[in-house]
Amino acid sequence: MTVTIYDVAREAGVSMATVSRVVNNNPNVKPQTRKKVLEAIERLGYRPNAVARGLASKKTTTVGVVIPDVSNAIFAEVARGIEDIANMYHYNIILCNADKRKEKEIRVVNTLLEKQVDGLLFMGGSITEDHLEAFRTSTVPIVLCSTADETGTMPSVDIDHEQAAFDAVSRLISEGHRKIAMITGSLQDPTTGYARFQGYRKALEKAGLPFREDYVRAGNYRYESGMEATRYFLQLKERPTAIFAANDEMAIGAIHAIQDAGLRVPEDISVIAIDNIRLAEMVRPELTTVAQPMYDIGAVAMRLLTKLMRKEHVDETRVILPHELKVRRSTAPAPAG
């Protein structure tokens, strides 16, 4: 039979209110009484009913997290930051994978809100009007994590993707590269994919270099698309001396396509990217990349959400964290000629 709070109270010889105070860590309980109640709980194997407690307090101490691709290492690192801060503030996490599909993202958001979560963290791609409509129905705080809405009205934590791309391409230009290709992500995503593409174009423009459409290929952030785009660049009559990939996974695909063609990285073609996943240091040559502070993005987003859930004062609801260029062995000065 299920052990109830009444059974614990009877076993410990105290009132049910006293048991409730002990279970909820209320300080207004004498140490000796607390010890008796805890011993009774252990003897009987009592577990508080989280649903009942939630109904009484109108809080579930649960946070929903929508993640676009659970298999992607970059999002796994964000999730770790989220969970560490959630544990610190005694919140449980419900993690939902949305497969980078808008209709599933919106469905998952609505499902989590129906489950009465106390707050929601959303990681995804482009924030559309359909997303914003779903967010508007929420009665609990929502924070965008590693993304942002175009209007800047939603609380969010991210990096400046355009500046990160600008810094990566500027590094190549400073090493004498004039023929720089780009493997983009989705240009339909204004806050990440298109922003990184814009950073690439602005770096070229600032250096007085022409923008060439044949030096741009769209990828899907996956290794295979990086290989495919690079094979296209290699067959051009005037092949690039450097490739900027919108993420590390596509950059690693680029490195392998170059090596498969009998060429060398970086002696023949330099490769640079954004993200700094663990594989960036495992590939040979090690990948030069702009590091996103993925753990910090998750941790800061979760801390911002706790403040909003607890109605604490918040100075800034749109947080931009710094990025850092990690120079490794996949880039070098442009080859002569």
- The vertex-97 CA angle with 94 and 103, nearest 5°, equals 115
pLDDT at 55: 45
pTM score: 0.80
Q: With 70 as the cut, is the pLDDT of residue 50 above it?
A: no
Least confident of 47-61, 124-138, 310-324: 47-61
Q: Kindly report, residue by residue over 73-84, the tens digit of the pLDDT.
A: 778 888 899 999
pLDDT at 20: 82
DSSP 190-223: TTTHHHHHHHHHHHHHHTTPPP-GGGEEE--SSH
Q: With 50 as the cut, is the pLDDT of residue 115 above it?
A: yes
Taking residues 106-129, what's their average pLDDT? 87
Residues whose CB is less than 8 angstroms from the CB of residue 253 and which lie 6 or more positions away in sequence, other chains included: 222, 223, 224, 225, 226, 227, 228, 229, 230, 245
Ranges of beta strands (E only) in the chain are: 62-67, 92-97, 119-122, 142-145, 156-158, 180-184, 216-218, 242-245, 270-275, 288-291, 318-320, 324-326
Q: With 90 as the cut, is the pLDDT of residue 136 above it?
A: no
Matching residue, tokens 């964000």: 78
Q: With 70 as the cut, is the pLDDT of residue 49 above it?
A: no
Least confident of 3-7, 37-41, 69-73, 76-80: 69-73
pLDDT at 226: 97
Share of the chain above pLDDT 70, in %: 96
Q: Kindly report, residue by residue over 174-226, the tens digit of the pLDDT.
A: 999 999 999 998 888 788 889 999 999 999 999 999 999 999 999 999 999 99
The answer to whether 159 and 293 have CB atoms below 8 angstroms apart is yes
Taking residues 226-236, what's their average pLDDT? 98
Share of the chain above pLDDT 90, in %: 59
The answer to whether 335 and 307 have CB atoms below 8 angstroms apart is no
Q: Kindly report, residue by residue over 21-33, the tens digit of the pLDDT.
A: 888 777 888 999 9
pLDDT at 307: 94
Rounded to whole angstroms, what are the CA distances from 119 to 89, 140, 141, 303? 13, 5, 5, 11
The three-state secondary structure class of 233 is helix
Give dist(CA 133, CA 127) in Å, integer: 10
Q: HSE-up of 171 (CA within 13 Å, CB side)? A: 24
Residues in the chain: 337
Give dist(CA 170, CA 74) in Å, integer: 24
Give dist(CA 227, CA 197) in Å, integer: 19
pLDDT at 54: 52
